[in-house]
């Protein structure tokens, strides 16, 4: 008996979800655990995996369509089962004309027509498609962003070699194919179009639109104020080096900063809050978001009860978050909650920057790079390792004196990391 595949509830409190792409075509077979489709929520892309082996008889919703949670999106059958009358099967399962079959499903808007002559990106994509042989005949595993980039560039993921975990095709594989040097047959075309092309339009992804909307709303509706501070981190660097000599989990400077933020929240609990329409909600434990860059955007999974975690536990949790974020396997409930976010651009050499608050949280701490510079110590000037921090604060639940007290406690923990061992 055929069954319906329905749009799953990927994220809490979302009534509809974008069906980003189909990974199995109508008539194609799949195995248990295989990803059938990719859906996108406000936070990230997620795979819809099969519960058992089967055949996708027909897709009922076109890629690029927003679908209500629980609505049917495909007709499935068991392996070896023949569905002679698809329309009758759909009617029997309660799918009326309101759930249009694939042929009449809404068609996603066509991307803007590229200028003529074609841009170098389009030519390079054609070149990459020519020089990379199609070497995969079975199901090809690829990240959602890799599939989108390949489709936009006119590439087939089956023609690419994956360098991700288990041979999964990731963004860098698509970019490498696009950037492959042209063959002699098209080299002249590349040379001809390079001078003529001045830009290329990159359509917005749903994630990019959501990020833009949320951050714009944050700046428009949240009264930000900013506190700047710099701290000596010589003792922190020494403690980190000693800890890493004796630990199987390597601890980063960022892990120390996360622990120091949790310590400051315990010293100044008035910062561990969020603004609500009727009340300021203050939390007993410290839940903190960690900003992680992924292909096409940024995600902020939440570390729970950071005050109870040791430095190596924080390091292991953040490393796991980063790995699963890049492979698109963060869970929906890991993306909500928290009262503060940490974002770090120090690895890019950025010394200081201000970040936008991630609503409904009350603050975000922007972390800069470690620099060597002269500092005054009593009557002497000496060279020290220094980090700069900028705390962006929502002035509705938090006043300046509370934020200043938090910044003072945070700086104390950074400059005296022995406090973080307790």
What is the set of active-site residues?
A: 395
End-to-end CA distance of the chain: 61
Q: Which of 204, 186, 184 is nearest to 120 (CA)?
A: 186
Give the torsion through C-alpha atoms of 341, 345, 351, 356, to 10 deg: -40
Contact 268, 397 (CB under 8 A): no
For residue 40, give the H/E element and its range.
strand 35-40
Q: Is 166 exposed, middle or buried (CB count within 10 Å of its CB: 0-12, 13-18, 19+)? A: exposed
**DSSP for residue 350:** -
Contact 126, 154 (CB under 8 A): yes
Distance from C-alpha of 59 to C-alpha of 409, rounded to nearest angstrom: 56
**303 pairs with which residues across the strands?**
288
Q: How far is residue 240 from each of residues 234, 311, 347, measured CA to CA in Å?
A: 10, 10, 17
Question: Pairing between strand 65-68 and 16-22?
Answer: antiparallel
Structure tokens at 30: 């799949």
* Block residue for tokens 């079975």: 138
């Amino acid at each position: 008996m055929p069954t319906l595949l329905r749009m799953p509830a990927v994220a809490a409190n979302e009534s509809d979800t974008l069906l980003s792409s189909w990974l199995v075509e109508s008539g194609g077979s799949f195995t248990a655990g295989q990803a059938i489709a990719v859906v996108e929520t406000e936070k990230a892309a997620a795979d819809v995996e099969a519960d058992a082996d089967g055949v996708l008889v027909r897709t009922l919703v076109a890629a690029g369509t927003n679908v209500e949670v629980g609505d049917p999106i495909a007709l499935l059958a068991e392996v070896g089962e023949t569905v002679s009358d698809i329309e009758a099967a759909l009617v029997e399962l309660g799918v009326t004309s309101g759930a249009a079959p694939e042929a009449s499903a809404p068609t996603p808007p066509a991307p803007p027509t590229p200028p003529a002559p074609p841009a170098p990106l389009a030519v390079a994509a054609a070149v990459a498609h020519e020089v990379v042989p199609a070497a995969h005949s079975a199901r090809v595993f690829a990240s959602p962003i890799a599939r989108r980039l390949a489709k936009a560039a006119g590439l087939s993921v089956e023609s690419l070699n994956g360098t991700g975990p288990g041979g999964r095709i990731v963004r860098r594989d698509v970019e490498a194919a696009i950037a492959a040097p042209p063959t002699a047959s098209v080299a002249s075309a590349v040379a001809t179009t390079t001078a003529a092309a001045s830009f290329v339009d990159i359509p917005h992804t749903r994630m990019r639109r959501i990020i833009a909307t949320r951050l714009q709303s944050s700046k428009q509706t949240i009264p930000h104020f900013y506190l700047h501070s710099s701290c000596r981190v010589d003792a922190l660097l020494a403690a980190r080096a000693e800890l890493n000599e004796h630990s199987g989990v390597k601890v980063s400077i960022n892990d120390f900063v996360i622990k120091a933020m949790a310590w400051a929240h315990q010293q100044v609990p008035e910062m561990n809050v969020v603004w609500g329409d009727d009340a300021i909600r203050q939390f007993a434990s410290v839940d903190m978001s960690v900003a992680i860059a992924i292909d096409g955007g940024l995600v902020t999974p939440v570390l729970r009860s950071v005050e109870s975690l040791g430095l190596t536990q924080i390091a292991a949790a953040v490393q796991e978050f980063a790995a699963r974020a890049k492979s698109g396997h963060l869970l929906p409930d890991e993306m909500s909650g928290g009262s503060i976010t940490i974002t770090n651009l120090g690895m890019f050499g950025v010394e200081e920057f201000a970040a936008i608050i991630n609503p409904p949280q009350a603050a975000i701490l922007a972390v800069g790079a470690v620099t060597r510079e002269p500092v005054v110590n009593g009557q002497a000037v000496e060279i020290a390792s220094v980090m700069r921090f900028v705390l962006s604060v929502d002035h509705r639940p938090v006043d300046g004196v509370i934020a200043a007290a938090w910044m003072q406690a945070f700086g104390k923990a950074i400059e005296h990391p022995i406090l973080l061992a307790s």
